[in-house]
C-alpha cells in the first residue's frame, strides 16, 4: 500500500540523519562516509536506491582549526527510494536555509 | 494527506531508534531516559503523542558486570502519533523476537 | 594510576558527545535532556560526578522555524569527574569559539 | 604529557563506540563501515593510527530475518594510537564476554 511505502521512506531518512549526525568529517573522508551511509540505508527493508551527498561548501565553512568538523544537518543531502507492493516512495532530505531545518520531503507513485 | 502522515510517523521512529540506541541504561535511569526520548519526539513537527518504554526484563538480561548496558533495539517499545491535515498516523516500534528485528508498524485513519 | 583515570575521563566525554549530538532540543526539553545525559554518564565505571549544561543562548540562535534544533557541539558544556585508585581526573567539554571546536580538557590530581 | 595522551586515547574510543553503535551492518557493508569508522578516528587530534574490525562471527549470530542487524558493542574491536609530546597511548576496545561489556584498555609509553 501507498502509506506503507511512505512510512518506510520516512523511517530510512530519520534513521540516516540521527545515526550519522555528529560523525567526524573532512574533505578527506567525506566520500567514504557518503558511501558508508548509502550502504547502511541499502540494507534496510524495501530500499531500492540510496544516494547521500555531503555539501563540500558547507563543510568548508564549518571546518574547525583541526580541519574537520562534526557532520551537521546543514551538510546532508539524501535521496532514498523504497518500493512496497509496486508503490515507489522517494524521500528526500535537504537543508532548508530559510527554516534552518533539515527538511524531509516525500514523492510517491 | 494520508501518505504524508505515514511518512512523518516513519521519520519519528527511525530518528528515535538511531539517536538513542547505544545510550548507557540501567534500572536507575531507564525512566529518565524514557521521558527524555519522549520529549525529543514531541518537539518534532506534527507529533501529537509519544510514548517510550524500555523493557525492564530485557534490560536485566543484558546488564553487564557494571550493572548497566547499552540501550538495545530489543528493549525499546515506542508509539508515536502524528497528525497531518486531519489524518492521524500511529507508528509503533517493537522488537520482534522471531525476526530478531526492531519492527516498525503503521496504522492510519 | 594517573593515566587510567585520565583515559577513563576521556572515554566519558567522547561517549557523551557522540551519543547525544543530534538529539532534538528546545527550551522545553533542554533540562530533561541535561538530566538524562548526566544519568547516562553516572552509570559508567569510575564516574563520581557528572554535570551537563546546554547553552540556552546558543540554543536560541540555532532554533529552526519549528522552535527546536539538533543538539550541537557549540551548545554543550560537560564536566565529568572520575576516580581511579585515589586519582581524580576531571574532564571538561566546552565549545571553543576561536577554534570552532568542542574542546576537551583534563585536570588531574 | 602522559596523562594527556591517555585522555586523548579515551576520547577517541568513547566517540567511536557511541557514534557508530546502532548503524545497519551486514556481511556486505561491514568492510566499508570499518574503513569509514577508521577514517573518522584518523581526523581527530593526535591520532597516528586507527584500526577497526567488525567480528563477522558475532555479526552472523545477530543477523535478523532481513540479513542485517544494528552494529552492537559485542562485534567491535578497535585499536587507536595517539601521540602527544612524544608519548604514545594505545587504546583498545574489545568485547569482554564474561563481563558482557565493551572493555576499553590503555597501554602507554
Contacts of C39 in chain B (CB under 8 A): 28-29, 32-33
pLDDT-derived band at C34 (thresholds 50, 70, 90) equals very high
pLDDT-derived band at A83 (thresholds 50, 70, 90) equals very high
Q: Please determine, for residue A1, whether its predicted confidence score (pLDDT) is greater than 90.
A: no
> Which residue(s) pair with B49 in the sheet?
B81
Read off the pLDDT of each residue in B74-101 and give the average, rounded to a whole number: 97
Q: What is the pLDDT of residues C41-97, one digit of tens each?
A: 999 999 999 999 999 999 999 999 999 999 999 999 999 999 999 999 999 999 999
How many angstroms separate the CA of residue B82 from the nearest CA in chain D? 25
Residue in C14, C15, C106 closest to D3 by CB: C106
pLDDT (0 to 100) of residue B1: 81
Tell me the three cell numbers of residue D106.
Answer: 590503555
pLDDT-derived band at B109 (thresholds 50, 70, 90) equals confident
**Which residues neighbour A97 within 8 Å (Cβ) at sequence distance 6 or greater?**
none
Q: What is the pLDDT of residues D84-100, one digit of tens each?
A: 999 999 999 999 999 99
Nearest to D26 by CA among D74, D73, D63, D78: D63
Contacts of A108 in chain B (CB under 8 A): 3
Answer yes or no: do A63 and C100 touch at CB < 8 A.
yes
CB-CB neighbours of C42 under 10 Å: 18
Size of interface C-D (CB pairs under 8 A): 79
Whether C62 has its CB under 8 Å from any CB of chain A: the answer is yes
Lookup result for grid cell 539517536: B19
Query: What is the distance between the alpha carbons of residues B101 and C15, in angstroms, rounded to a whole number?
Result: 25
Nearest to B93 by CA among B73, B71, B109: B73
CB-CB neighbours of D63 under 10 Å: 15
pLDDT (0 to 100) of residue D56: 98
Q: Please determine, for residue B85, whether its predicted confidence score (pLDDT) is greater than 90.
A: yes
Tell me the three cell numbers of residue B101.
Answer: 528485528
Query: What is the distance between the alpha carbons of residues A66 and A82, in angstroms, rounded to a whole number?
Result: 38
Q: What is the pLDDT of residues A19-78, one digit of tens each?
A: 999 999 999 999 999 999 999 999 999 999 999 999 999 999 999 999 999 999 999 999
Read off the pLDDT of each residue in D68-79 and give the average, rounded to a whole number: 98
pLDDT (0 to 100) of residue D92: 98
In chain A, which residue ranges form alpha helices assigned H by DSSP?
2-20, 30-43, 56-62
Query: What is the distance between the alpha carbons of residues B66 and B64, in angstroms, rounded to a whole number?
Result: 5
| Predicted ipTM of the assembly | 0.97
Tell me the three cell numbers of residue D82.
Answer: 595517539
pLDDT-derived band at A109 (thresholds 50, 70, 90) equals confident
User: How many CA within 13 A on the CB side of residue B94?
Assistant: 10
Q: Please determine, for residue D33, whether its predicted confidence score (pLDDT) is greater than 90.
A: yes
Mutate to test the interface with B, among D13, D67, D101 (most CBs of B within 10 A): D101
Query: What is the distance between the alpha carbons of residues A67 and A58, in angstroms, rounded to a whole number?
Result: 13
Answer yes or no: do C45 and B32 touch at CB < 8 A.
no
Contacts of C17 in chain A (CB under 8 A): 22
Q: Which of residues 3-22 of C touch D (CB under 8 A)?
A: 3-19
Q: Please determine, for residue A9, whether its predicted confidence score (pLDDT) is greater than 90.
A: yes
pLDDT-derived band at B4 (thresholds 50, 70, 90) equals very high
Q: Please determine, for residue D35, whether its predicted confidence score (pLDDT) is greater than 90.
A: yes
pLDDT (0 to 100) of residue B12: 98
- Please report the sign of the dihedral spanned by the C-alpha atoms of residue C100, residue A35, residue D102, residue B14: positive
- What is the rounded average pLDDT for all residues in chain D? 97
With beta carbons less than 8 A apart as the criterion, state whether A26 and A34 touch.
no
- Please report the sign of the dihedral spanned by the C-alpha atoms of residue B68, residue B74, residue B77, residue B78: positive
CB-CB neighbours of B99 under 10 Å: 11
With beta carbons less than 8 A apart as the criterion, state whether D80 and D64 touch.
no
Which segments within C42-75 are labelled E, that is strand?
Answer: 47-54, 69-70
With beta carbons less than 8 A apart as the criterion, state whether C14 and D18 touch.
yes
Percent of chain B with pLDDT over 90: 98
Nearest CA in chain C to B31: C36
Q: What is the pLDDT of residues D3-12, one digit of tens each?
A: 999 999 999 9
Q: What is the pLDDT of residues B29-40, one digit of tens each?
A: 999 999 999 999
Read off the pLDDT of each residue in C99-108 and give the average, rounded to a whole number: 97
How many angstroms separate the CA of residue A70 from the nearest CA in chain D? 10
pLDDT-derived band at C109 (thresholds 50, 70, 90) equals confident
Whether D100 has its CB under 8 Å from any CB of chain B: the answer is yes
pLDDT (0 to 100) of residue A35: 98
Contacts of B16 in chain A (CB under 8 A): 14, 18
Burial of A85 per CB tally in 10 Å (0-12, 13-18, 19+)? exposed
Contacts of A42 in chain D (CB under 8 A): 29
User: What SS3 state is found at C43?
Assistant: helix
- Please report the sign of the dihedral spanned by the C-alpha atoms of residue C22, residue C28, residue C29, residue C35: positive
The single-letter DSSP state of residue B77 is E
Specify the pTM: 0.97
> Which residue(s) pair with A9 in the sheet?
none
Query: What is the distance between the alpha carbons of residues D66 and B101, in angstroms, rounded to a whole number?
Result: 8
- Please report the sign of the dihedral spanned by the C-alpha atoms of residue C53, residue C74, residue C94, residue A17: positive
Amino acid at each position: 500500500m501507498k502509506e506503507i511505502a511512505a512510512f518506510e521512506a520516512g523511517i530510512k531518512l530519520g534513521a540516516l540523519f540521527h545515526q550519522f549526525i555528529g560523525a567526524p568529517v573532512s574533505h578527506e573522508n567525506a566520500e567514504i562516509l557518503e558511501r558508508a551511509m548509502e550502504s547502511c540505508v541499502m540494507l534496510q527493508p524495501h530500499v531500492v536506491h540510496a544516494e547521500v551527498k555531503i555539501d563540500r561548501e558547507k563543510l568548508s565553512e564549518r571546518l574547525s582549526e583541526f580541519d574537520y568538523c562534526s557532520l551537521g544537518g546543514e551538510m546532508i543531502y539524501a535521496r532514498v527510494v523504497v518500493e512496497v507492493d509496486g508503490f515507489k516512495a522517494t524521500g528526500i532530505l535537504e537543508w532548508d536555509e530559510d527554516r534552518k531545518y533539515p527538511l524531509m520531503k516525500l514523492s510517491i507513485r
